[in-house]
């Protein structure tokens, strides 16, 4: 596979408080890697899948981001923007709007609300989760059991983009469940 290297990227974190019915994650920030992965060649999605897999985040789908607010209680999620651009709202209604483009990666801890406010026609994302986790789509106030699951859901030791040296190991380590 040609040119599977990652490029230098800017890492940003975003801590989100509960917002309306969206719980967000009270201990782990969203991590946004701008221009994290070089997007060239015939199958850029495969490049994202290869990098995520190599760091213990098996890819599970290729698609866009839903145009309604939702969150997950049974999986931390990584989104790799393969093509196009979008305006996403993170954190639920009246949350934070972020602009994403090809090459960007978002690491969303369980409970993080997300919604596509508008995207280009070619917007494509690869989604991945740690082993044994998945995207249970939630659009309602979480139960106490779901909040407990968000608070204690384990995550891998490796960042999906940079492995042992990534933002997950630096910014999520203090929030790791005991």
Q: Which residues contact 32 (CB under 8 A, 6 or more apart)?
A: 11, 12, 13, 14, 98, 100, 104, 105, 106, 107
List C-alpha distances in Å: 167 to 28, 60, 160.
Answer: 11, 22, 9
pLDDT of the residue at 173: 65
> Which residues in the chain land under pLDDT 50?
1-8, 175, 178
Q: Kindly state whether residue 1 falls inside one of the protein's structural domains.
A: no
Quote the pLDDT of residue 129: 95
Q: How far is CA 140 from the centre of its chain?
A: 20
Q: What percent of the chain has pLDDT over 70?
A: 89
Tell me, yes or no, whether 145 lies in a domain: no
Q: How far apart are CA 71 and CA 23, in angstroms?
A: 8
Determine, yes or no, domain membership for 144: no
**Residue 77 structural domain:** 10-137+153-175
Which pLDDT score, from 0 to 100, does residue 174 have? 53
Considering its fold, how many domains does the chain have in total?
1
Which residues are 99's β-sheet partners? 87
Please report whether residue 83 resides in a domain: yes
Q: Judge whether 131 lies within some domain.
A: yes
Is 56 within a domain? yes
CATH number at residue 26: 2.60.120.10
In a domain, 116, yes or no: yes
Element (H, E) at 23: none
Note whether residue 147 is domain-resident. Answer: no
pLDDT at 159: 87
């Amino acid at each position: 596979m040609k040119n599977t290297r990652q490029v230098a990227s800017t890492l940003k974190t975003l801590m989100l408080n509960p917002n309306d019915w969206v719980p967000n994650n009270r201990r782990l920030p969203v991590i946004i890697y701008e221009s994290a992965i070089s997007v060239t060649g015939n199958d850029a999605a495969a490049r994202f899948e290869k990098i995520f897999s190599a760091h213990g985040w098996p890819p599970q789908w290729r698609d866009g981001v839903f145009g309604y607010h939702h969150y997950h209680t049974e999986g931390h999620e990584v989104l790799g923007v393969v093509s196009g651009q979008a305006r996403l709202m993170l954190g639920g209604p009246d949350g934070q709007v972020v602009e994403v483009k090809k090459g960007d990666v978002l690491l969303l801890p369980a409970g993080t609300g997300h919604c596509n406010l508008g995207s280009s026609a070619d917007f494509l994302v690869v989604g991945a989760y740690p082993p044994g986790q998945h995207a249970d789509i939630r659009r309602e106030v979480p139960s106490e059991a779901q909040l407990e699951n968000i608070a204690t859901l384990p995550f891998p030791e490796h960042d999906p983009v940079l492995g042992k040296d990534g933002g997950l190991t630096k910014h999520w380590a203090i929030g790791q469940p005991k």
